[in-house]
Amino acid sequence: MRGLIYTLAAACWLAACLPADGATGRVLKVLPHFLDQQGRHTVSPSLYDRDAYQKFLRDNPDKRSGMSFDIQWKTKEAAFSPLVLRVELRGIAEGALPRTLVLEQPAEGGRRWRGAWTRMTLAETDYQRIGEITAWRVSLWEGERLLAEQTSFLW
C-alpha cells in the first residue's frame, strides 16, 4: 500500500514538472492600406470609397506618404510572456537582395471571442527608404515562440 502512495506521489510530482503550454493564437485578417499625404487610407466610411481610393493611391505613387496594416488577431489561453505583433516587409530589390524592414508592437486585448484589431503604420521616411513593397508577413509571437502568421502571396 505504501508503495502505491509513493508511486502516485511521484507521478503527481512529475506531472507538475512538465512544461505547460502557453497561449495559442491566430492572425485572422490583414488589411494593408496605402496612406495619402494627410495620413488617410479613405475619404469616407464607405467600403466602396475606400477601395476606390486605394486604387487611386496604387495608380498614383506620388500621392502616397506611407502604409498601414490593420491586423485582426486573437489568442486562447493565458500568455506566459508578452505578446508581440511583428510585420516584416520586403521592398524593391537592390542588387541581389531585397530591402527589408521589421515593425513590432506589443499585442494587447486579443482574448475576446472576436479578437482584437491593431494598426501598425509604416512612417513616411521608412516608406521612402524601403520603396515599393513587394511582400509582407504578419506574425504573432509569445516571447520567442511563434503563435501564428499570415503572409502575402509573394512572401
pLDDT in tens, 40-64: 999 999 999 999 999 999 999 999 9
Cα 21 to Cα 98: distance, rounded to the nearest angstrom? 36
* CA 11 to each of CA 2, 15, 133: distance values in angstroms, whole numbers, following the listed order: 14, 6, 54
Cα 110 to Cα 84: distance, rounded to the nearest angstrom? 11
At residue 131, the pLDDT reads: 84
Angle, CA 26 vertex, CA 155 and CA 146 arms, to 5°: 65
Reported confidence tier of residue 95, pLDDT bands at 50, 70, 90: confident
- The CATH code of the domain at 21-151 is 2.60.40
Average pLDDT, the chain: 85
Whats the size of the chain, residue-wise?
Answer: 155
Residue 102's Cβ-count burial label (10 Å; 0-12, 13-18, 19+) is exposed
pTM of model > 0.85 = no
Tell me the chain's radius of gyration from C-alpha atoms.
Answer: 22
Cα 136 to Cα 56: distance, rounded to the nearest angstrom? 21
**In the predicted model, what is the mean pLDDT of residues 32-38?**
94
Cα 96 to Cα 25: distance, rounded to the nearest angstrom? 35
Domain boundaries defined on the chain? 21-151
Tell me if residue 45 falls in helix, strand or coil.
coil
Residue 118 pLDDT more than 90?
yes
At residue 1, the pLDDT reads: 67
